[in-house]
Every structure is written in structure tokens, then in C-alpha cells.
């Protein structure tokens, strides 16, 4: 029997995970992993400011026969089942996985061309090399705070431009406020207001000019879905539309990670989270589907970060405002410890836990896993509180 030709486009966390799962789980497979940048751990880019090497060791892939090709894919020919690349010509496939990720979105305000993203290691190398003394960061997401922390680590002054509140989609309102207070104490400046425009020497927020040598846009991402779009694959907004196993509208093509939609196990609806945790789970699901297995693993939105060594921020599933928007009747239970403030969010009619967000001084990893399990299993708030307190 001929080996199965699996071609993966994109060597970010999703592509690398898919390549590794393929050689582990598909018996006779030939994997080509095509990527246009160095292979590294994206969520660790801020450590580049400390001179750390964040490259991902791929020797386990190569020693298991994965061919890593530094190239850019430009076109998919679905009839011929082949991928056109810039330098390596046409590459035939039996199955294709698109793991092309996403790029930072530009603000809609005039002057967006003056902004830079914060997604690639080159973005941190640029900060370290050019040392822009004052840096405006548009957006209040986890990524914006990574950028702010990187600036502080490099001795630069970050101004975070916030339209509503910090990490709005993942934190309860009180936690956003408390997080801002803690980060202010550690030297991050915040400017609240609506971005009007961006000039070469910084943005204008409401009526105020925020002077900056560099403006970073951290307002979200835009999926790299052009290959799929040009090949006529179905999209969901700008993302490649996939089923729960990651299969696109062409059963020979899968899409995983930031380029595709995902499924929220809480609402059981199609959604988009843009997280590495989701990309790795989707990689696993797509390889299982190619192998012929049914079913798919699922995970809710789950994020955990540490800023300035002692500001731990965690979030799972829904906040109460987001839960309300999604049609739940959310209630909260506050959990206060000496070192921690947390909120469990549950749906009142059923008592089912649907979210959690927390701010702490140290790691409370066991609690996150407990809540994660509770959310996935649909456990009741009373059961979760009992488990946490025991
Ligand atoms: C600062 C920061 C912190 C983060 N923190 C966390 C965190 O704590 N937890 C978490 O879960 N997630 C985190 N994330 C998000 C996480 O990094 C992304 O969700 C994850 O990288 C998505 O992986 P991916 O493989 O789908 O895409 P990507 O990592 O974007 O990789 C896609 C790759 O494909 C390449 N590519 C695109 N088009 C082509 C083409 N035509 N040909 C060849 N190659 C192509 C791209 O250049 C890129 O190398 C963070 C992100 C950032 C920026």
C-alpha cells in the first residue's frame, strides 16, 4: 500500500502538533510541514526581550520522517489535489491541513499604517533593537499586556489604550479593574478612551494626544484564510469553516487553529477563540479524523498568564456579561482568599458552572484544572465550590 501523503501548511503550534500527532497515530504516513517562518513558541515571544531562545526543537519530527520545508504555499488545486508553493513547486497531497494562523488586525482609524503588530519574534527583536522610549499599545487583550510587559522588561514606557476594560471577554469587571491597578503599580500607564487616529508620533485618544515613538496594534487578529478562500472553501466570517473534527467543505482539506472556527463545548455553537490550546486540540482531532476515527476532543476558552512574576490572570469559559449575551442567566460566586480573587459563573436555572476568572499572586493551577473539568462535565456550582474548598 502507498503511504498517505499529508501536507501541512503553517509551522506554528497547530501545524507542528498536527505533524507530531500524524507520525504518532497514522501508521504509514509521509508528512510535509511547510512554513514560512522559524519554528518557535509564539506565546513566549516576550522572553526574546531577555535574550532567550524560544525555538521549538523539531528533531523528534525529523527523526520520525517529517520533512520540514521552509517555503510559502500560494495556491491549492483541489482537482489535482496539489499545493503550489513559491520555491518547491507543486506538492501533491492525499490530505491537506491548513494551519496558517492569523496576523494582527489593523485599527480602522486613520493612520493604521503607522502601527506594528505584536505576534512574531521579530516584533520583540524590533523593540529590543530600536528601543522606542514611549510605546502606545492599542487594545486591552492578553496580547496587549504581553506587549506592555515586554516594554517594561526593555526599560521602555508602555501606554495601554483601553476602550472598555482589560481583557473584557475573559475577566469579570472587578478583576479588570484590579488588574489595571496592579499593573499601574508596576509602571504600566493606561489611557482610557476612543482611538481617533494614529499619527507618526503616537495616537489621539478622545481629545488627548498620546506621544509615542511606536504604536502597537493589539486589537485582535485576522485569519490567514486567503489560500482557502481562493480555493473556494466555505468560510465562517473570515475564518475557514470547519466541522468539529476540523474538516472544511472539502473533505480532503482540514483547517485548524487561528485560521479556522472552533466549537464551544459550553454553548455547543461555532465560535472563534484564537488560542494555542485550541490549535493543539484541533490538530489532534484532524489527525484522528484522517485516520478514520469519529469524535472530537473539545475545550472551552482557557487562558492563563503571569505578568511581573506575581500577577497571575486566569480565565475559563464565560464571564457573566458574555454569558448573558450568549443567552444564559448568569450568577456569580465570589471566592476570596488572602492571595486570590476569583469568580465562578454559573447558569441560574440549571446551576451549571459555565465560567471562571481569577487574579492571584501565586499559581493556583490545581483549581483551574478542577474548574476546567467542571465546565466540560457540566457540574453544578455547589459541587465545584465543595471541591474547591475541600
Ligand atoms: C503574545 C502572545 C501570547 C499568547 N499567549 C497565549 C496563551 O497564553 N495561551 C494560548 O493558548 N494562546 C496564546 N496565544 C495565542 C497563540 O499563540 C495562537 O493561538 C497560536 O499561535 C495559534 O497557532 P496556529 O498554529 O493556528 O497559528 P500561528 O501560530 O499563527 O502559525 C501559523 C504559521 O503559518 C505561517 N503561514 C501563514 N501562511 C502561510 C503560507 N501561505 N505558507 C506557509 N506558511 C504560512 C505563519 O507565518 C505562521 O508561522 C498568544 C499569542 C500571542 C501573540
What are the sequence ranges of the domains in the chain?
4-103+221-291, 112-217, 312-389
Q: And the C-alpha cell for 348? A: 441560574
Which of 92-106, 236-250, 362-376 bottoms out in mean pLDDT, i.e. has the lowest? 362-376
**Per-residue pLDDT at 219:** 97
Residue-wise pLDDT tens digits, 143-167: 999 999 999 999 999 999 999 999 9
**Per-residue pLDDT at 389:** 80
Q: And the C-alpha cell for 36? A: 514560512
Atom of ligand 1 nearest to the CA of 42: 17
Helix or strand holding residue 223 (H, E): strand 221-223
**Per-residue pLDDT at 2:** 83
User: From ligand 1's centre to the CA of 185, what distance in Å?
Assistant: 31
74-93: average pLDDT = 98
User: From ligand 1's centre to the CA of 351, what distance in Å?
Assistant: 36
Q: And the C-alpha cell for 295? A: 469524535
Is the pTM for the entire model greater than 0.85?
Answer: yes
As beta bridge partners, residue 352 has 380
249-252, long-range: CB < 8 A, 24+ apart: 250/78, 252/78, 252/81, 252/93, 252/94, 252/95, 252/96
Instruction: Give, to the nearest 10 degrees, the angle between helix 276-291 and helix 13-25.
Output: 30
31-37: average pLDDT = 98
CA-to-CA separations, 202 to 108, 135, 192, 196, 370, in angstroms, rounded: 15, 8, 15, 11, 44
Helix or strand holding residue 248 (H, E): none
Cβ atoms of residues 340 and 361 within 8 Å: yes
Instruction: Give, to the nearest 10 degrees, the angle between helix 365-377 and helix 381-389.
Output: 160
Would you place residue 169 in the very low, low, confident or very high pLDDT band (cuts 50, 70, 90)?
very high
* Separation of alpha carbons 238 and 225, rounded Å: 7
For domain 312-389, the question of CATH label 3.40.50.720 is answered with no
* Separation of alpha carbons 352 and 383, rounded Å: 10
Examine domains 112-217 and 312-389 and report if their fold is the same.
no
Atom of ligand 1 nearest to the CA of 274: 19
Query: Is a pLDDT exceeding 80 seen at residue 1?
Result: no
Homologous superfamily (CATH) for 4-103+221-291: FAD/NAD(P)-binding domain (3.50.50.60)
Cβ atoms of residues 263 and 297 within 8 Å: no
CATH number of 112-217: 3.50.50.60
Pocket-forming residues, ligand 1, beta carbon under 6 Å: 9-15, 34-37, 42-43, 45, 72-73, 99-102, 119, 142-143, 146, 224, 227, 257-258, 274-277, 279, 303, 305
Question: Which residue's C-alpha comes closest to atom 31 of ligand 1?
Answer: 12
Residue 317 sits at the vertex; the CA angle it makes with 316 and 320, to the nearest 5 degrees, is 110
Residue-wise pLDDT tens digits, 40-58: 999 999 999 999 999 999 9
User: From ligand 1's centre to the CA of 321, what distance in Å?
Assistant: 28
Question: Which 8-state DSSP code applies to residue 246?
Answer: -
User: From ligand 1's centre to the CA of 54, what distance in Å?
Assistant: 14
Task: Kindly report the number of other CB atoms within 10 A of residue 48's CB atom.
Answer: 21
Amino acid at each position: 500500500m502507498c503511504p498517505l501523503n499529508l501536507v501541512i501548511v503553517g509551522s506554528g503550534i497547530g501545524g507542528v502538533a498536527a505533524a507530531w500527532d500524524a507520525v504518532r497515530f497514522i501508521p504509514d504516513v509521509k508528512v510535509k510541514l511547510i512554513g514560512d517562518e522559524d519554528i518557535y513558541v509564539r506565546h513566549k515571544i516576550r522572553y526574546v526581550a531577555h535574550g532567550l531562545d524560544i525555538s521549538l526543537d523539531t528533531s523528534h519530527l525529523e527523526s520520525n520522517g517529517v520533512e520540514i520545508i521552509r517555503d510559502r504555499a500560494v495556491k491549492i488545486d483541489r482537482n489535482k489535489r496539489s499545493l503550489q508553493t513559491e520555491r518547491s513547486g507543486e506538492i501533491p497531497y492525499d490530505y491537506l491541513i491548513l494551519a496558517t494562523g492569523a496576523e494582527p488586525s489593523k485599527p480602522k482609524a486613520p493612520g493604521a499604517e503607522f502601527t506594528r503588530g505584536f505576534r512574531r519574534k521579530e516584533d520583540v527583536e524590533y523593540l529590543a533593537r530600536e528601543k522606542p522610549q514611549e510605546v502606545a499599545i492599542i487594545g486591552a487583550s492578553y496580547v496587549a499586556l504581553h506587549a506592555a510587559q515586554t516594554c517594561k522588561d526593555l526599560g521602555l514606557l508602555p501606554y495601554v489604550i483601553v476602550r472598555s476594560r482589560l481583557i473584557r471577554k475573559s475577566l469579570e469587571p472587578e478583576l479588570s479593574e484590579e488588574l489595571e491597578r496592579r499593573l499601574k503599580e508596576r509602571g504600566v500607564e493606561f489611557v482610557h478612551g476612543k482611538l481617533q487616529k494614529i499619527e507618526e508620533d503616537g495616537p489621539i485618544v478622545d481629545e488627548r494626544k498620546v506621544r509615542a515613538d511606536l504604536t502597537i496594534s493589539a486589537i485582535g487578529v485576522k485569519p490567514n484564510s486567503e489560500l482557502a478562500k481562493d480555493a473556494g472553501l466555505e468560510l465562517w466570517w473570515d475564518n475557514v469553516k470547519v466541522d468539529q473534527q476540523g474538516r472544511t467543505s472539502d473533505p480532503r482539506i482540514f483547517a485548524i487553529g487561528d485560521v479556522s472556527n472552533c466549537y464551544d463545548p459550553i454553548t455547543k455553537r461555532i465560535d472563534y477563540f484564537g488560542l494555542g490550546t485550541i490549535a493543539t486540540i484541533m490538530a489532534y482531532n484532524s489527525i484522528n479524523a484522517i485516520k478514520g476515527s469519529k469524535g472530537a476532543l473539545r475545550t472551552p476558552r482557557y487562558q492563563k498568564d503571569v505578568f511581573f512574576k506575581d500577577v497571575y490572570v486566569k480565565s475559563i469559559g464565560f464571564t457573566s456579561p458574555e454569558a448573558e449575551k450568549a443567552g444564559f442567566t448568569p450568577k456569580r460566586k465570589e471566592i476570596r482568599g488572602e492571595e486570590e480573587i476569583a469568580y465562578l459563573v454559573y447558569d441560574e436555572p440549571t446551576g451549571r458552572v459555565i465560567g471562571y476568572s481569577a487574579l492571584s499572586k501565586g499559581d493556583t493551577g490545581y483549581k483551574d484544572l478542577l474548574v476546567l473539568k467542571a465546565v466540560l462535565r457540566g457540574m453544578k456550582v455547589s459541587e465545584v465550590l465543595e471541591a474547591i474548598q475541600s
